[in-house]
Structure 1
Amino acid sequence: MSGTPARTADAATAAEVVCLGESMVTFLPSQPGRLADVPSFGRGIGGAESNVACALAAAGHRAAWVSRVGADGFGDHLVEAIAGYGVDTSGVRRDPSRPTGIYFRTATDRATDVHEVAYYRAGSAASAMSPDNIPYATLPATRVLHLSGITAALSADCLALLHDLTAPRPGRPLISFDVNHRPGLWRDADASPEVLLDLARRSDLVFVGEDEAEEAWGVTGAAAIRAALPEPATLVVKRGAEGATVFSGTGDVSGTAGTQDAADVPGTGDITTVPALRVDVVAPVGAGDAFAAGFLSATLRGLPVRDRVRHGHLMAAAVLTVPGDLTAPPARAHADSLAALDDEAWGRLRLGPGWTGDDQEVRTT
């Protein structure tokens, strides 16, 4: 990438990606059913940005997670669990007066209306993140700063922090922004579309689903989304089972410095569409975060745009074929060999549980 790190650091030790946002302790049900009927829960971790950091670290990248957690046992668990994936958690601060956020969810599909999620995150330590307690100057040196719209919804201070971090400045790392529109998190739901649109326009690489763009901005189709977001040098439109379409104004995400004026960025630029894989889905949780991690991983390696999308699909497929938000990604050589397939062979792939293992055969149909 041509953008210089936010801070001076040894290139061999600086983080390749810094992910900033709230992570929570997740309570997963022991059996399907209403929350009122579930007798017990298992403990996990959940958070869009920390999921991306964990996936990138598991894929062999230097990833850091920056956030705030309570000075409590749940905060201890989050920091220890995320560090266990190989993520640098030295940028996580403890808040003695606010708790770590937690949430409970049912075992059914939370991507549909057949689910329940109960959040206990109001007043959490992470919701108090601000430009005062996480100033830009203190962020670890990095090539990419990954953010999401979830943080903007947590509080006015969190929104101010995202505005500060996405402001144009010399040496700013590439800003990666996942829209992650969550209407239920916004106190003022009417404000969320404009806020998310503004943050996306201030970013260099944007991930957004067709469905959430229609819900938030009333625009339908990849071309209409690009028309609404001409500023980002790279726009990744996720289209569910149809795959993903990438609009890249420069033709190379890794060449974005992150300091250009909006008027200097081409409008549509190059367009690359990559079909989705056929996957035997176990649970849909965490697939969007995994896709972003796969795309960022391939971006850091300077791979062509088509292969960046394919690595996103492969990382998502790894998560889709397990019950939880996180899993070990396929070995790099394995993923590279699949990403390099010709279009016909790619289209015949079918991935099911266990496909990421070295001794597993990948099915074709």
Structure 2
Amino acid sequence: MTSPTPALIAIGETMALVTPRDATPLADTEEVELTIGGAESNVAMHVAALGGDAAWMSALGDDALGRRVHRTVAAHGVDTRWVQFDEQAPTGVYFKDPGHGVLYYRAGSAASRMTPATIAGVPLEDARIIHVSGITPALSEGCAALIGAVIDRVAASRALLSFDVNHRAGLWPASVAAPALRALANRADIVFVGLDEAQTLWGCRTPAEVREVLPSPERLVIKDGDVGATHFSDAGEEFVPAIPTEVVEAVGAGDAFAAGYLHGMLAGDDVVACLRGGHERAHLVLQSTGDVLETAAGTGQ
């Protein structure tokens, strides 16, 4: 008997992640951990950790790292039935360098070879929320076409499309990314974007200016680091301040925020509660070098 389609399906690349055991820069650390990291699977794992029903779909290399990624995501309570393994391409790898960002080794990865055909058997229309990000269309022409196909299918269904802008300058320059990400975001129902990346992409200095650039999403969430998050919808504008946090590593906090917010939506929470849920999840991740809280998997803590 086929299991019901999860409420949330996240689609995008996940890689093996090498990260220092503490906040020591990569060039100086003596000990590292091999974990995993990917914006969309991070969201799915956080939603599952909060008690939600989530799936992750992607392609992995048919290799040791791919099997490790798959096993790890599944161990966090995420449905991975639609993940595909590619015998002709490797699983991507990246390194966290605390205080200096990340180093990517993902060119030619299995996920970069995804196309619209990759999701042919995935019942997107049966989910409540499909979550994607602006990372995927930057990986290849096939991946850009994949995101276009996802948007078309979701638009023709009762599902909602969640889109995290997630601009990665290392994948495509702002001059190329800006019009593409703007167009994609304006086709989504729920959009997450950092005020800093909105300034880089579109020259926006305030949340109100971001709303002018992205007028179409039913729900627009603008994150402003340790200041807070501003939410625009037909009901008006809401602002919820961030939780004061001693930051160990910022990478992954945006995914945690999106997951906390989306989990609140799935639970029927109001906008303020959704934003608070996002801040609470981000607060926890900001105090760790990992993208997902290993001890929180499946506990909702």
Query: So what's the TM-score if we normalise by structure 2?
Result: 0.92
Q: How is 1:184-199 mapped onto 2 (pairs within 5 angstroms)?
A: 184-186=170-172, 189-199=174-184
The corresponding residue for 2:277 is 311
Question: Take 1:166 and 1:191, find their aligned partners in 2: how far apart are those partners?
Answer: 20
Q: CA deviation at 1:170?
A: 2.8
Letter in 2 for 1:43: L
Change (3 A) 1:331 1:93: closer
- Equivalence for 2:147: 162
Q: Which runs of 5+ in 2 are unaligned?
A: none
Aligned residue pairs total 297
1:279 partner SS: coil
Which aligned pairs between 1:74-85 and structure 2 lie closer than 5 A? 74-85=65-76
Would the alpha carbon gap of residues 80 and 228 (structure 1) be closer, same or farther in structure 2, given more than 3 Å must change? Answer: same
SS at match of 1:325: coil
State how far apart, in whole Å, the 2-side matches of 1:317 and 1:305 are: 18
CA distance in 2, matches of 1:158, 1:193: 17
Which residue of the other structure, out of 2, 6, 10, is the alignment partner of 1:15?
6
Q: TM-score, normalised by structure 1?
A: 0.77
What residue number does 2:225 align with? Answer: 240
| Structure 1 position 201 matched with structure 2 position 213 | no
The answer to whether the aligner puts 1:284 opposite 2:250 as a matched pair is yes
1:287-302 equivalence runs, <5 A: 287-302=253-268
Contact 1:102 1:121 in 2 (8 A): yes
Q: What is the SS of the residue equivalent to 1:157? A: helix
What do residues 179-223 of structure 1 show as CA deviations (whole Å, max 9, x unaligned)? 00111112x652110110010001000000110000011121000
Structure 2 SS opposite 1:94:
strand
User: Residue 302 of structure 1: CA displacement?
Assistant: 1.1
> What CA distance in whole angstroms lies between the structure 2 residues aligned with 1:33 and 1:300?
38
- 2:125–2:158: 8 Å Cα contact kept in structure 1? no
State the SS of the aligned residue for 2:251.
coil
Are 2:23 and 2:249, in contact at CA under 8 Å, matched by a contact in 1? no
Structure 1 alignment gaps of length 5 or more: 1-8, 110-114, 252-269, 333-355, 357-365
Contact 2:195 2:223 in 1 (8 A): yes
Would you say 1:228 and 2:194 are equivalent positions? no
Please name the residue that 2:107 is paired with. Answer: 122
The equivalent residue for 2:201 is 216
Shift of the 220–81 alpha-carbon distance from structure 1 to 2, 3 Å rule, reads same
Shift of 1:240: 1.4
Give CA deviations for 1:121-150 in whole Å, capped at 9, x if unaligned: 000000011112223765473100000001
- Measured in 1, the distance between the counterparts of 2:159 and 2:81 equals 19
Change beyond 3 A, Cα 1:214–1:136: farther
* Residue identity opposite 2:263 in structure 1: S
What corresponds to 1:103 in structure 2?
94
The answer as to whether partners of 2:135 and 2:166 remain within 8 angstroms in 1 is yes
Cα distance in 2 for partners of 1:238, 1:45 equals: 24
CA distance 1:238–1:34, change in 2 (3 Å): closer
Are 1:22 and 1:126, in contact at CA under 8 Å, matched by a contact in 2? Answer: yes
Query: 1:262 corresponds to which residue?
Result: none
**1:267 aligns to what?**
none
- Name segments (4+ residues, structure 1) moved above 3 Å: 30-40, 136-140, 329-332
Give the aligned CA root-mean-square deviation in angstroms: 2.1
Q: Contact between 1:318 and 1:329, CA under 8 Å: does it hold in 2?
A: no
Q: Structure with the greater relative contact order (CA < 8 A, sep ≥ 6): 1 or 2?
A: 2
CA distance, structure 2, for counterparts of residue 206 and residue 330 of structure 1: 26
Measure the CA separation in 1 of the matches of 2:64 and 2:231.
42
Kindly indicate whether residue 61 of structure 2 is the aligned counterpart of residue 70 of structure 1. yes
Query: CA offset at residue 172 of structure 1?
Result: 4.4
Larger of the two Rg values belongs to structure? 1
